[in-house]
């Protein structure tokens, strides 16, 4: 899914039937921000603007109750959640402030919602991206992602991201080596299709 559709974030009322259907089948959902549209600064949206759309759509989902009403949906966020992990402490801290609308939202529900999300490593294999993600979730919720095919995912960028992921020191070596398999939990049917191929290759 894109983080926004027609200006609406994913907590919008018009998406409730979609979330109900996804929850009914226990779906895995990958959320990626749209690179199109206007940017706040005179810089390309994919440069950094998209990372804020990821944070906005997750906050919208939490505040509008999507994460509570669709608990069986396993969500993966591109780019280690973009700006979300770095803002997670602030969001939780202020979530029940008198001046913040927060029906059904508490610091604990915010922390639980963010901990349940999976965060991919596309453009985010560096310590300053993975560190905040690991502060809100567990190592088994870090999944491999590359953004391969996107204009910003050039070969040097992909290589540097992979090198940093494996040697940056944020993930223990055995965890870093297994990041590519963590998504099997999110997409079990796809993982089941990999087993015959892996056996044939061995």
Give the domain CATH number at 19: 3.20.20.140
Q: What is the mean pLDDT of residues 44-58?
A: 93
Ramachandran category for residue 34: left, alpha or beta (phi over 0 → left; psi -120 to 50 → alpha): beta
Is the pLDDT at 190 greater than 80? The verdict is: yes
pLDDT of residue 39: 85
Which band of pLDDT confidence, cut at 50, 70 and 90, is reported for residue 72?
very high
> Between residues 49 and 197, which one has the greater pLDDT?
49
| 152-182: pLDDT as tens digits | 888 888 898 888 888 888 888 888 888 889 9
Q: How far apart are CA 50 and CA 5, in angstroms?
A: 14
Coil vs helix vs strand at 131:
helix
Is the pLDDT at 19 greater than 80? The verdict is: yes
Q: Exposed, middle or buried: residue 67 (CB in 10 Å: 0-12, 13-18, 19+)?
A: buried
Number of domains in the chain: 1
Ramachandran category for residue 194: left, alpha or beta (phi over 0 → left; psi -120 to 50 → alpha): alpha
Domain hosting 179: range is 4-201
Which band of pLDDT confidence, cut at 50, 70 and 90, is reported for residue 186?
very high
| 100-126: pLDDT as tens digits | 998 889 999 999 999 999 999 999 988
Q: At what angle do helices 107-116 and 45-63 cross, to 10 degrees?
A: 130
- Mean of the per-residue pLDDT values of the chain: 92
Q: What is the mean pLDDT of residues 124-131?
A: 90
pLDDT of residue 177: 84
Total-model pTM: 0.92
Q: What is the mean pLDDT of residues 173-198?
A: 85
The percent of residues above 90 in pLDDT, for the chain, comes to: 64
């Amino acid at each position: 899914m894109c983080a926004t559709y027609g200006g609406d974030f994913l907590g919008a009322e018009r998406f409730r039937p979609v979330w109900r259907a996804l929850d009914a089948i226990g779906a895995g959902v990958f959320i990626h921000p749209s690179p199109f549209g206007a940017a706040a600064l005179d810089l390309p949206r994919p440069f950094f603007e998209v990372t804020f759309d990821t944070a906005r759509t997750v906050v919208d989902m939490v505040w509008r109750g999507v994460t509570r009403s669709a608990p069986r949906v396993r969500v993966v966020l591109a780019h280690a959640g973009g700006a979300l992990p770095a803002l997670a402490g602030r969001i939780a801290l202020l979530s029940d402030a008198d001046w913040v609308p927060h029906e059904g939202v508490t610091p604990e529900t915010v922390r639980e919602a963010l901990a349940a999300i999976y965060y991919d490593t596309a453009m985010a294999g560096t310590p300053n991206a993975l560190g905040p993600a690991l502060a809100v979730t567990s190592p088994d919720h870090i999944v491999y992602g590359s953004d391969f095919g996107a204009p910003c995912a050039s070969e040097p960028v992909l290589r540097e991201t992979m090198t940093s992921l494996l040697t940056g020191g944020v993930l223990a070596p055995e965890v870093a080596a297994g990041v590519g398999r963590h998504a099997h939990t999110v997409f079990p049917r796809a993982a089941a299709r990999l087993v015959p191929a892996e056996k044939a290759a061995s």
